[in-house]
Chains A and B, each alone.
Chain A
Amino acid sequence: GENVEQHPSTLSVQEGDSAVIKCTYSDSASNYFPWYKQELGKGPQLIIDIRSNVGEKKDQRIAVTLNKTAKHFSLHITETQPEDSAVYFCAAISTTGGGNKLTFGTGTQLKVEL
């Protein structure tokens, strides 16, 4: 099955700085890679995603890059703000006998300090 590794597990940045979170996946057949933000006491919220036919996608201060050859994808947050503080999960879709399933990375606790 799919295995998704995520680094770092914690990340502390100053407000206004950039933050980068990196993930690797194992299943070369995976073709959809979403990123979720989870605030304390809430469910994961989809913030951006990328499909395998695209190398980069940007939405305001958030961007995601994908290197299919190396099986790497990364989340970039620019001009970080205190409200960006949360746990971020990368994920990959893999195919099992019953259908496609979402496999999550281990999560990154991002803290944006004033």
Chain B
Amino acid sequence: DTEVTQTPKHLVMGMTNKKSLKCEQHMGHRAMYWYKQKAKKPPELMFVYSYEKLSINESVPSRFSPECPNSSLLNLHLHALQPEDSALYLCASSLGVGNTEAFFGQGTRLTVV
């Protein structure tokens, strides 16, 4: 099973809403990632978790708050977003943070209105 599952697939939220994106993997991977992808652009790294601890934060605004409750789950809490935050949010996982294969989920298409 090389699957990374993200929910929901689509999300529309207002600028005052609070919502969460969820990601799950059962491959025993110890590194999990959040990426943001705008249309016709490559994925941009937001956060890296290694062994459930935040190891990289790419200077992401605080309106995005990641959480790793356990080794299989990764959440991204959203609050007071702006329309320019509309994008495809991708979760990925890998065995470790080193030079190992990273597997991506299908993404959550987020629209902020």
Contacts and interface: CB of A to CB of B under 8 A. Distances in A.
B105 A43 contact: yes
B99 A99 contact: no
Contact of A98 (B55, B100, B102, B104): B55
Interface residues of B, number: 26
B56 A42 contact: no
Interface in A81-97: 89, 93, 96
B90 A96 contact: no
Given A43-B106, A44-B104, A99 B90 contact: no
A34 B100 CA distance: 9
A28 interface: no
Nearest to A49: B101
Contacts of A99: 48, 50, 55-56, 97
Contacts of A63: none
B73 interface: no
Nearest to A101: B45
B90 A43 contact: yes
A70 to B, nearest CB: 20
A103 B45 CA distance: 8
B80 to A, nearest CB: 26
Interface in B15-56: 33, 40-43, 45, 48, 50, 55-56
B41, B50, B97, B105 interface centre (most CB from chain A within 10 Å)? B97
Contacts of B64: none
B106 A102 contact: no
B5 to A, nearest CB: 11
Interface of B: 4, 6, 33, 40-43, 45, 48, 50, 55-57, 90, 97-107, 109
